[in-house]
Amino acid sequence: MTRNQSDTFEIGEYTVHRLGFGAMRLCGEGIIGAPDDEAAAQEVAREAVDLGVDFIDTADSYGPGTSERLLGEAGVVDDAVVATKGGLLRSRDGDWLPHGDPEYLENAALASKDRLGVDSIDLYQLHRPDPDTEFEASVTKLAALKDDGLVDNVGLSNVSVEQLETARDHVEVATVQNEYNLTNREHEDVLAACEDAGIGFIPYFPIGAGDLDEKAAVVDDVAEAHDASRYQIALAWLLQRSDVTLPIPGTSSIDHLRENVAASEIELTSDELARLSE
């Protein structure tokens, strides 16, 4: 077995287990509005914490506002590090619209803090650079929010290595959240930069869903050897890919949640890792 990396990671003053929970799917269809059963959605969040998950990721644009509100009402914010994001709006037809204006980001952070019901936000991430706003202006505002005590740690999402380095000139960057999984490794260079700097790398869309068909043969072979599902193997690979990866699989199903958490117990061999990484 090759699994010798730490099961935990430090985000500022917080130590979290490296398999987290993505709370986007707690919203209604299309990530818009409330789910049909809010109590059931809150129960999923509580079950995640009961299973030992202590890192939860959300955003003000999920709902918008719904995911944050449900997490606050579920009472999990005192038992887990909650990371949220600002700087991405939702239109009525579901489009995602970057909005990184500094004053807007401050207002968004205040609203997120209120919905979550916390004294300060554990980790606040710029959801996406805004092409109509100077990137440094957005980052400088996040640094000011940290200095003012509104947020404890600053993260980035959907950034390049160059943008990460620019941000680090203005603020200590705790995490970067980019898309990354078995079949999409476009941001390999960003992961490498995070490894070099000891920055947490949060791979969103960690399972890759149907895209795993591209690697079906090897994934299915490894899954059979571990009596596991394809998706569990995808998560196990992410956890063993690097000491800084913090996968955040999301679901609205307690059964699926339990399956995801169980993936953290799978130990891939060096040969399996190599085959999956080809």
Residues carrying an active site annotation: 62
Count of positions (residues) in the chain: 278
Q: How many CA atoms lie within 13 A of 145 on its CB side?
A: 32
- Could you give the 3-state DSSP secondary structure of residue 219? helix
DSSP output for 72-115: HHHT-TTTSEEEEEESEEE-TT--EEE---HHHHHHHHHHHHHH
C-alpha separations of 148 from 83, 143, 155, 192 in Å? 18, 9, 16, 31
Give the rounded distance of the alpha carbon of 250 from its chain centre.
9
Widest distance between CA atoms in the chain? 53
DSSP output for 2-28: ---S-SEEEETTEEEES--EE-GGGSS
